[in-house]
Structure 1
Amino acid sequence: MLQILYLAQDLADPAVRRRTLTLVAGGARVTLAGFRRGANPLAAVHGVEPIELGTTADARFAQRIGAVAGACLRLANRLRHVQRPDVIIARNLEMLAVARRAVALFGGDVPIVYECLDIHRLLLRKDMVGRALRAAEAQLGRDVRWLITSSPAFIEHYFRPLSGINAPPILLENKVLDIDGTAANVAGAAECPPAGVPWKIGWFGALRCRKSLSLLAEFSRMMEGRFEVVLRGRPAYSEFEDFDGALRSEPFMRFEGAYRNPEDLADIYGDVHFTWAIDFFEEGQNSAWLLPNRLYEGCRHGRIPIAMKGTETARFLAVRGIGLVLEEADAESLAALVGSMTPDAYADNAERISRCNPGTWVFDRSDCEALVRRLATLIVEPPRPLPAVAIAEPRHNEGGSL
């Protein structure tokens, strides 16, 4: 059985849970280790007890560097009972530093896979800070065997022209995990609401975009109750002045809390008609290049995605002839796009989505097994067997910081 050490930047991130479930379903034995940024019991994986390396905070990059340095110094103790892995997967830049330290401790040439599903704005800066971070990424990733990313635009706009990572890229889109064909049951058929009942737009997942919140609030007030906006997921409170207060003051918006992915998807998408597949958080950069989870989730459940013109999401929809594209980022344009939606137009949009191959949206058990088999091709035999207790304590001349 393939032994994977999965190093995660945030143990409370639902995407980390999903990747862990993917690897386990594919037949791997996973040791999960990483930092904690907040409590989220819904991110727990049955049978996998994570090893906590410390605590970090959103939007505090300097604090995260210090936490990583401390974790590297303590890593021998934290991993003392861990069997030597066949492969290490490092999610995000800071975990590359931890992965390199782990390879040194295990005393062998353990292959590292770099998983990067977002391009942080600091990496894209043209000043000394940006150049220094890209140099650090290139140095830490110089021996990386593979790069896992979720959008072809990340490769086109960052990894090929700017990043120093030379590893072959593997595209793993943010599809719905459907291990047994039952965990993510399809929501009921998409239908327009009865007379007098509002249309609903669902904004689900990582809630971090102030501009989206403002735009949707203005739009919902403009529609005077004919549209409602439902938010679910994990708000990035550091990005909002007062997220909870703002929602309380909006008559046609509501926040319904976190959810389990994929177990709760059918229920939450069954409650809406449209998916807000737009993010202005890093406008013109990461937000323009990503293919968000909610794009796949909404289409998997027959809900109509709304994308922003000029983005990779809009291109994805255009290729398939589905979805709606917003021309301008304002409430008036959104009202023009969906405000006069008719039952026939809605049914036509939903029917076009239903004609897409289900594999466009779903990552099933066979996909999980194929991924683990592919990872197994990276196995490097250690020069000699090393029991877990043989992990060396750090020496004073060993590196332990970025």
Structure 2
Amino acid sequence: MELDDLTLNVLYLAHDMADAAIRRRVLTLKAGGASVTVAGFERGANVLADERDVTTVSLGQTADGRFAQRIGAVLAARMRLKRTLADIAAPDVIIARNLETLALAGRAVSMFSRRIPVVYECLDIHRLLLDEGMKGRLMRQAQRFFGRRASLLITSSPAFVDNFFKPRSGLDLPVLLLENKVLALEPEPVSEPILPRPPEPGKPWRIGWFGAIRCRKSLDMLIDFAARMDGKVEIVLRGRPAYSEFDDFDATVAAAPHVEFHGAYRNPEDLAAIYGDVQFAWAIDFFEEGLNSSWLLPNRLYEGGLYGAVPIALAGTETGRFVGKRGIGLVRNHVTPQTLEALFGEMTEARYVDLFSRLAAVERCQWVTGPAECRALVSRLAALHPNVPSPAEMSAVSTVQS
């Protein structure tokens, strides 16, 4: 057997090829020793377009906030899937990100005439899956139906398992918890210890809200708060706004005093610079308040932790419990423009340095996914397929052949 034949071949069905989290997962799989082909829906610029050795195939266009359109796009993709995937190599494992691509996974398996294991990756619980009416019941039935072929569930927060997958999903799958940690493939991406960075005298505190910007309540609250502080606090926004969730995001932000929006960034390449530009990280999400927003552990929690941005979190949420348990940030029972004004009206350099020091004392492994974790993931996936060796076995064959 040639060494090339031992590589785990992954077909990744992606819900949105403009999502930076898709790129991070693909890079994780590659770093673990897998070969990856991505077939995904498009909602913007393909973040994998410049990645070497990653073949991408478009499944069609979808749009944020247009559920009916997305169902139509999935049905259309299913009808033409045999033609769409005609030129790709038969995979050893298929990973389906979110329910819309899980609906395609069984069809993809049947195309290759093999018992290919399917992995269901779900890092957000859509509000329709939690609906108590007919729509919610139909969504959960669809998830159970399409999930019947799955061999493994990947999710990012234990609260998703406790609050949805175990009691309500109807799925009975082994669970692999992969937190939204920063992908760090170099031995020491942070070359020097990060030092506290209080603002210079007369300069404002800066709070960063980075990543998927989809929470209208957070935006309104931060704009109001910044106006109340009258230049003593600045809000810095970076990432991809979900424009469907706002009346006019660009105009609203442009008109807001002491609020900046700097667009998209590359993850993980730009993280050190953008988090180094702020003292605090907004880790609160009201987008699906009491449901998904209460259960998630967001990317910005880990990114800010690695690069020294003190998290601001809401008590009673999984993020709040994570922060409070470690004593590493500002956790508040109630968050309003008024409570934020009171909190930062009393913020001092000494208080900030104490918060920063607690954050800096956390072990680096809490925040990062390194090469060993990448290999462990690929090994777990390879174990689903009896004919594919683990990366350790691949390494042993490589040693013998050399």
TM-score bracket for the superposition, by shorter chain length: over 0.9
Secondary structure of 1:145's partner?
Answer: strand
CA contact under 8 A between 2:327 and 2:358: conserved in structure 1?
Answer: yes
Cα distance in 1 between the residues matched to 2:169 and 2:47: 35
Cα distance in 1 between the residues matched to 2:190 and 2:183: 7
What is the TM-score normalised by the length of structure 2?
0.92
**Shift of residue 96 of structure 1?**
0.7
**Shift of residue 69 of structure 1?**
0.9
Pick aligned residue for 1:88 from 79, 83, 94: 94
Cα distance in 1 between the residues matched to 2:249 and 2:63: 17
Pick aligned residue for 1:79 from 73, 80, 85: 85
Say what the alpha-carbon RMSD is for the aligned residues.
1.5
**Shift of residue 326 of structure 1?**
2.4
State the match for 2:233 in structure 1: 227
Equivalenced residues, count: 382
CA contact under 8 A between 1:12 and 1:38: conserved in structure 2?
Answer: yes
Secondary structure of 2:108's partner?
Answer: helix
Alpha-carbon distance change, 186 to 65 in structure 1, aligned in 2, over 3 angstroms? farther
State the match for 1:307 in structure 2: 313
State the match for 2:398 in structure 1: none
State the match for 2:298 in structure 1: 292
Question: Kindly, what percent of the aligned residue pairs are identical?
Answer: 56
Q: How does 1:3-402 map to 2 (within 5 A)?
A: 3-39=9-45, 41=47, 44-181=50-187, 188-381=194-387
**Shift of residue 190 of structure 1?**
2.3
Secondary structure of 1:80's partner?
Answer: coil
For 2:300, give the aligned amino acid. Answer: R
For 1:174, give the aligned amino acid. Answer: N
State the match for 2:392 in structure 1: none
Unmatched tracts of structure 2, length 5 or more: 1-6, 389-402
Deviates more, 1:31-40 or 1:2-11: 31-40
Alpha-carbon distance change, 29 to 183 in structure 1, aligned in 2, over 3 angstroms? farther
**Shift of residue 185 of structure 1?**
6.2
Alpha-carbon distance change, 156 to 43 in structure 1, aligned in 2, over 3 angstroms? farther
**Shift of residue 184 of structure 1?**
6.5
For 1:192, give the aligned amino acid. Answer: P
Secondary structure of 1:141's partner?
Answer: helix
Secondary structure of 2:266's partner?
Answer: coil
Cα distance in 2 between the residues matched to 1:65 and 1:40: 21
Alpha-carbon distance change, 187 to 9 in structure 1, aligned in 2, over 3 angstroms? farther
Unmatched tracts of structure 1, length 5 or more: 383-402
Alpha-carbon distance change, 178 to 51 in structure 1, aligned in 2, over 3 angstroms? same
CA contact under 8 A between 1:300 and 1:361: conserved in structure 2?
Answer: yes
CA contact under 8 A between 2:19 and 2:47: conserved in structure 1?
Answer: no
**Shift of residue 177 of structure 1?**
0.4
Alpha-carbon distance change, 247 to 301 in structure 1, aligned in 2, over 3 angstroms? same
Cα distance in 1 between the residues matched to 2:193 and 2:285: 24
What is the TM-score normalised by the length of structure 1?
0.92
**Shift of residue 72 of structure 1?**
1.0
Cα distance in 1 between the residues matched to 2:62 and 2:387: 34
Alpha-carbon distance change, 173 to 229 in structure 1, aligned in 2, over 3 angstroms? same
Q: Give per-residue Cα distances to partners, 1:82-103, cap 9 Å, x unaligned.
A: 1111100000001011111000
CA contact under 8 A between 2:223 and 2:256: conserved in structure 1?
Answer: yes
Secondary structure of 1:197's partner?
Answer: coil
Q: Give per-residue Cα distances to partners, 1:52-110, cap 9 Å, x unaligned.
A: 01000111111111111111111111111111111000000010111110001011110
Which protein has greater RCO, CA pairs closer than 8 Å, 6+ apart?
A: 1
Cα distance in 2 between the residues matched to 1:43 and 1:338: 42
Cα distance in 2 between the residues matched to 1:197 and 1:187: 24
For 2:229, give the aligned amino acid. Answer: M
Cα distance in 2 between the residues matched to 1:184 and 1:99: 39
Secondary structure of 2:94's partner?
Answer: strand
Q: Give per-residue Cα distances to partners, 1:351-390, cap 9 Å, x unaligned.
A: 11111111100001111011101111011449xxxxxxxx
